[in-house]
Amino acid sequence: MSILKAVRGTRDLLPPETELWNYVESTARSVFARYNFGEIRTPVFEDTQLFARGVGEETDIVSKEMYTWEDRARAQSEKAQSLTLRPENTAGVVRAYIEHKLGETGQLQKLYYIGPQFRRERPQKGRYRQFYQIGAEVIGPPSAGSESPLRDAEVLEMLASLLDALGISGWTLNINSVGSASDRPLYVEKLREALKPVVGQMCVDCQRRAETNPLRVLDCKVPEDQGIIDTLPRIADSLDEASTAHFAAVCAALDACGVPYHRNHRLVRGLDYYTRTTFEFTHGGLGAQNALLGGGRYDGLSEMLGGPKAPGIGFAIGEDRLVLTLEAQRAGEHLAELADAYLAPMGTALDAPALALARELRREGLRIDLGDGSFRLKKSFESGNKVARQIVLFGEDELQSGILTVKNFSTGEQTKVPREQLVAMLKST
- In the complex, the residues that contact ligand HAM under the rule CB under 6 A are 88-90, 119, 121, 126-128, 131, 133, 135, 137, 270-271, 291-296, 298, 314-316, 318, 320-321
- Minimum CB–partner distance for residue 92 and ligand HAM (Å): 9
List CB contacts of 370: < 8 A, sequence separation 6 or more.
342, 343, 345, 354, 355, 358
Q: Which is nearer to ligand HAM, 295 or 384 (CB)?
A: 295
List CB contacts of 47: < 8 A, sequence separation 6 or more.
81, 82, 83, 84
Q: Which is nearer to ligand HAM, 92 or 214 (CB)?
A: 92
Q: Which is nearer to ligand HAM, 272 or 369 (CB)?
A: 272
- Give the nearest residue (CB) to ligand HAM: 318
Q: Which is nearer to ligand HAM, 125 or 196 (CB)?
A: 125
- Minimum CB–partner distance for residue 414 and ligand HAM (Å): 49
- Minimum CB–partner distance for residue 366 and ligand HAM (Å): 37
Q: Which is nearer to ligand HAM, 85 or 293 (CB)?
A: 293
Q: Are 342 and 392 in contact (CB under 8 A)?
A: yes
Output phi, psi for 294, to 5 deg: -150, 160
Q: Which is nearer to ligand HAM, 294 or 371 (CB)?
A: 294
- Minimum CB–partner distance for residue 407 and ligand HAM (Å): 45
Q: Which is nearer to ligand HAM, 318 or 371 (CB)?
A: 318
- Minimum CB–partner distance for residue 136 and ligand HAM (Å): 8
Q: From CA 302, how far away is CA 94, in angstroms rounded?
A: 6
Q: Are 92 and 43 in contact (CB under 8 A)?
A: yes
First to last CA, the chain: 49
253: helix, coil or strand? helix
Q: Are 409 and 389 in contact (CB under 8 A)?
A: yes
Counts for the chain of helices (H) and strands (E), in that order: 15, 16
Report which DSSP code applies to 287: T
Sign of CA dihedral 129, 325, 150, 25: positive
- Minimum CB–partner distance for residue 307 and ligand HAM (Å): 16
Question: Cα–Cα distances in Å, from 291 out to 47, 280, 310, 394?
Answer: 28, 6, 27, 53
- Minimum CB–partner distance for residue 113 and ligand HAM (Å): 9
